[in-house]
Every structure is written in C-alpha cells, then in structure tokens.
A and B are shown apart, each in its own frame.
Chain A
Amino acid sequence: MKWALVGVIVVCNACSDLLNTSGMRRYGEVHDLRPRALARLIATLARNPRILLGMIGMSVGFFALMALLSIAKLSFAVPATAASYVIEALLAKYVLHERLSAKRWAGALLVTSGVILLAM
C-alpha cells in the first residue's frame, strides 16, 4: 500500500509538471510580475486545459501524499518520492526536448541525494 501511494505520487508529480511546463510554453514567456499582470495571467490560465489538468494532477498527488503520511513517516515518504527528480529529468529530455548537459545531470543527482539525506 505504501509503495502504491509512492507510485501514485511520482506519476502525478511527473504528469502535472509536464502538463504545466508544456501549457506555459504554449502560453509564452511571463516577464511582467506586477500584481495586475499576474491577475490577468491567472484569469487566462484558468481557461488553459493543460494547466487545469496539471492542477488536477497536483491535487491528486497532494492527497496521495497526505494519505501516505498517515501510514508512513516523512523520512520514508520524502526519500521514496525523490525518484521524481530523476524521472522528470528524463521526461524533460525525451518529451519536452530539453538538453541535459553533464553538469545539469550532476546537479540533479546531487540535489536528489541531498533531499534524501535531509529527510532521513
């Protein structure tokens, strides 16, 4: 059961991040961060199907994490779901066509191990 929830969380994180990223790519670059511009951004994104699906993914992932935390400790939940960083880096490469240099891989792996150690 614990690992099933870990699976749900990792899949939801990956799907929502991919959907959000591709939704924002289609929207275009956001440069103006003044409150009025951000309010217009929210109004527009609320009609963006990819972002909406991304939000659903994030919500399911959040409640799966809450469920996991009710049966397991944070020191299990965080390291077990840290695989997200590596899986999403691969998805970024193959689905979003981002270039992953050796430096970026090294950084991502260091961050993943750091997150695991910090939660232990």
Chain B
Amino acid sequence: MPMSASKVTPMPSPATRAATSAPLLTLVLAVIGANSAGNFALRVGMAQVGRTVSLSPLPYLSALLNPWVLTGVALLIGWLILQLSLLSRADLAYVLPITAMANAVAALLGVFVLYERVTRTGWIGIALITIGAWLVGQTDSRTDSGVEGHFGELGRRA
C-alpha cells in the first residue's frame, strides 16, 4: 500500500480540525433531518407502491423503481453515515433521545405536507419528545472520556 495515499487520519491536528470541523449541533440537525425526510419520502413512496410486507427481497427491489422510495433510501443511507459520525463524537445515551426528535419532525411533516391529523394524545407526545430532547441537549455530549462539552467546541476541556 502506498504510504498515506489512502490512509485516513482519525484525529486531525487541531488547526486542520478547526478549518474543516462541522459543529456538533450541525451534525445533530443533519441526522434528524435526514432521518425524518428519509422516512417521510419512504412513506409517500410506499403509499404509491402499495403495502409491501414480505420476507422476500423482491417486492422491496421493485419498490425501488419509485422515485420517492429511491429518494427515501438515499436519505436513509446518508442518515446512517451521519449517525455513525455523530456516535463517534457523542454519547449513545445523548444521541438516542435527541435524534428521537425525528419522530416528532416526521409527524409534523405529515401534518403540514400531507394534511394528516394528529390526535391530542399525539400532540402531547410531540411536546414530550421536544422537551426531553431539549433537556438531554443541555447535558455534556460526551462523558466517557470528557472530550467534548455540549454542542461541541464550547466545553472542550484540557
């Protein structure tokens, strides 16, 4: 293997990192956005394709011909990469409740784009998810080694 040509440096120097580093909040929002938009596109697409619940992969493959389904799958692949990047920088117990905001965003997309109705119980659920995610967002994003404080560069400790 040629030296360093394809080598990935996991920890760039602080100077390089400052120039190219995405803030943690950006990453959190990108994860929530990709997940809710991806699931939303899949939902629209699968409604057009028809209900497919099967253990065989074939019906899923033919559903990929639908542009909404294809967009949804692409967004969810993007979500996976972003989610892994987020997990490299923040606690699992921080990432899970915060990214659960995607449930609320997906429901709101249904309300405002598809004119779906949300019950009173559902609105209470959306409110609880939002308050819970906000609370978790106030805690230190990384506690296993104390590398990052909340939302990134603010709380970096020596």
Please report A residues at the B interface, Cβ cutoff 8 Å.
17-18, 20-21, 23-25, 27-34, 37-38, 40-45, 51, 63, 66-67, 69-70, 85, 88-89, 91-93, 96-101, 103-104, 106-120
B87 touches A89 (CB 8 A): no
Q: Does B138 lie at the interface of the complex (its beta carbon under 8 Å from any beta carbon of A)?
A: yes
Tell me the minimal C-beta distance from A112 to chain B in angstroms: 8
Docked pose: A98 CA to B140 CA in angstroms? 10
8 Å CB contact of B136 from A23, A32, A103: A103
- CA A116 to CA B11, docked complex, whole Å: 39
Contact partner, B81, options A38, A67, A111, Cβ 8 Å: A38
User: Are A120 and B121 neighbours in the complex by a CB distance under 8 Å?
Assistant: yes
A107/B22 in contact, CB under 8 A: no
Q: Are B21 and A107 in contact (CB under 8 A)?
A: no
CB contact under 8 A between A114 and B104, given known A27-B88, A29-B147, A108-B93: yes
Residue pair A30, B85 in contact (C-beta under 8 Å): yes
B155 touches A (CB below 8 Å): no
Minimum CB distance partner of B135 in chain A: A107
List chain A residues, Cβ under 8 A from B154.
none
- Chosen A-B contacts, 11 in total, with CB atoms closer than 8 Å, are A30-B89, A33-B85, A67-B53, A98-B94, A98-B143, A114-B132, A115-B129, A117-B124, A118-B104, A118-B107, A120-B122
